[in-house]
Structures are given as structure tokens and as C-alpha cells.
Structure 1
Amino acid sequence: MTDLRIRAATPDEAEAVLVFWKESAHGTSVSDDVHGVRRLIDRDPEALLLALTDGLIVGSVIAGWDGWRASLYRLAVLPSYRRRGISTALLRAAEERFAALGGRRVDAMVLEANETGRRLWSAAGFVREERWRRWVKPLTG
């Protein structure tokens, strides 16, 4: 896509990002609210990358860097814009961000039930890590 633009999200786009995720992302997160998205952007203004065309959000990825690990979340593309190289462009931008920050390896959170996502990550060169499992504990009730 020649008119595709990738840039960091701004706090005033939090609601639009949530609407986009509702239509385009597989699954939900405990942080899926305006406060959660704004907190992410406030904490790391370059972490939430958006792909836009003509002002429309057509893709997103969270490229989280904590100084130790490079982690990807919420890679999503608007269904009517899939198979146009948007996820590839988003991943390239995320990997460039991580490399500039000194990242050595990147991991991605992928729901087991997300067949499309698992195929995408595999095609992008990611390999399922069999030695680890995610353990979680909610901090709120």
C-alpha cells in the first residue's frame, strides 16, 4: 500500500483504538478501556504503533519495551484491509524500534485459539516457544 503511514498513537486516539480493536483484534484484555490505552501511551509514547490510510486506523501493534524484553501485543489489521502487507509493515516498524533500543529478541503473545494469528506469526519468522507458559494473576477484582 503506497498511502500507508505508520506512527505512534496519541492519547486522544484511545477511543478510536478501542473501536478498532473491537472489530479487528482477536480476544480482549483487562486493559481494554480508555484509561488503559492512555496509560500505555503516557508510559511509553512510542509503544502503540498504528497503521493509517486516509486517516483511518487499519492496523495496530503494541511494541512494548521494558529495558529487558521486547514484546509484541495486539497485532491487528482491519478485516477489509488484510493481505495487503500491513502486518508486515507494522512488524518491521516494531522490530526497528526494538533494535534501536538495544533489544536482542522479540516475543509475541498469541491466543491459542487464534488460528489466523498463529499462521501470521509463523509466516513472519516467529517460532512457538514450547518451554514456557504464561502465568497470570489479576491485580484487580
Structure 2
Amino acid sequence: MMNITECSAPVMLRRATAKDAQRLERFFRQFEEVSFCEWQDAKCLRGVLEQKTTTAFLALDVSGEVVGAVLGGMLGSRGTINHLAVSPFYRSQGVGQRLVEAASADMKRVGVLRMFLFVDDANLAGKRFWSAQGFCEPRGETTFERDL
């Protein structure tokens, strides 16, 4: 079981727990490109982080500050990355890639065979990042969604 991993940048990765809900909310809200919904508050995140189907990791600098995070979930043989962000200073140092690898390993361990995620059409840097991680745009599919 992956718990703590050394990154190429001076950060440590560790699994996020329900106790990290408020830190995770504050961190994700800093980034417009993350598309963090109004209703995704610490209480909501606490419930999500308590679920066995959730995968979540934090990247922490040497002082313990969150400099990156990933949050996703699993349903049967499919998994999703709902949110990933890395602080600007730590970008292009492998932190995002390590977070993706940690979430991917977590999902693979429980039988997930395919991962998906959504990237805003205008987020060109995000599209480049995800392409570099081996993700590709699906052909012939349209995503439908609604809030409950």
C-alpha cells in the first residue's frame, strides 16, 4: 500500500484523509481551472474522503504546506480524477505526474481498468499535461451531466 512517496521536487506525497477536508477545499479553491463547485465544501469533502471508493493524495512541501493534490473516485472497472492541482512554483517538477501515478496505482490495485477525467476546453495547459500522462480525448462520445 502506497502511503508516502518521495517526489523529484522537495515534496512528500501522502494519502489524504477526512481530516484533510478543509485543507483540500482551501487548496483547490485557489485554482480557477480546477472547476471546484460551490457546494464542494469541507463537509462534503469529508464525506467523500471517508468513502472506500475515493482516492486522494496530497503533495506537501518540507514545511507541511499543501503544494499539490488529487481527488478521484472508482466505480467498478472505471475510475475518475475529479480534481488535480499543483501550486505554480512546483509545476514542471514532476509533482503532478506523481499525484497521477499515486491515484492510478490506487485504482489499479482495486481492479480499475480505465480512468477518465474532464478538462475545460479553454485549459490548454491542462490538455497538454493530461496528454503527456497518456490520456486522450474520446472519439464519438458526448458527456452529459446534471447537478442533483
Q: Which blocks of at least 5 consecutive residues in structure 2 are unaligned?
A: 1-7
1:22 correspondence with 2:26: no
Task: For 1:11 and 1:72, locate their aligned partners in 2 and report how far apart those are by CA, in whole Å.
Answer: 18
Q: CA deviation at 1:92?
A: 0.9
Q: CA deviation at 1:63?
A: 2.9
* Identical-residue share of aligned pairs (%): 29
2:77·2:114 contact (CA, 8 Å) conserved in 1? no
Q: What value does the CA root-mean-square deviation take over the aligned residues?
A: 1.8
1:136 correspondence with 2:145: yes
1:1-141 to 2 correspondences below 5 Å: 1=8, 3-24=10-31, 26=33, 27-44=35-52, 47-54=55-62, 55-139=64-148
Q: Which blocks of at least 5 consecutive residues in structure 1 are unaligned?
A: none
Task: For 1:2 and 1:121, locate their aligned partners in 2 and report how far apart those are by CA, in whole Å.
Answer: 19
TM-score normalised by structure 1 residue count: 0.87
Task: For 1:52 and 1:138, locate their aligned partners in 2 and report how far apart those are by CA, in whole Å.
Answer: 32
Q: Displaced runs of 4+ in structure 1, greater than 6 A?
A: none
Greater fraction strand: 2
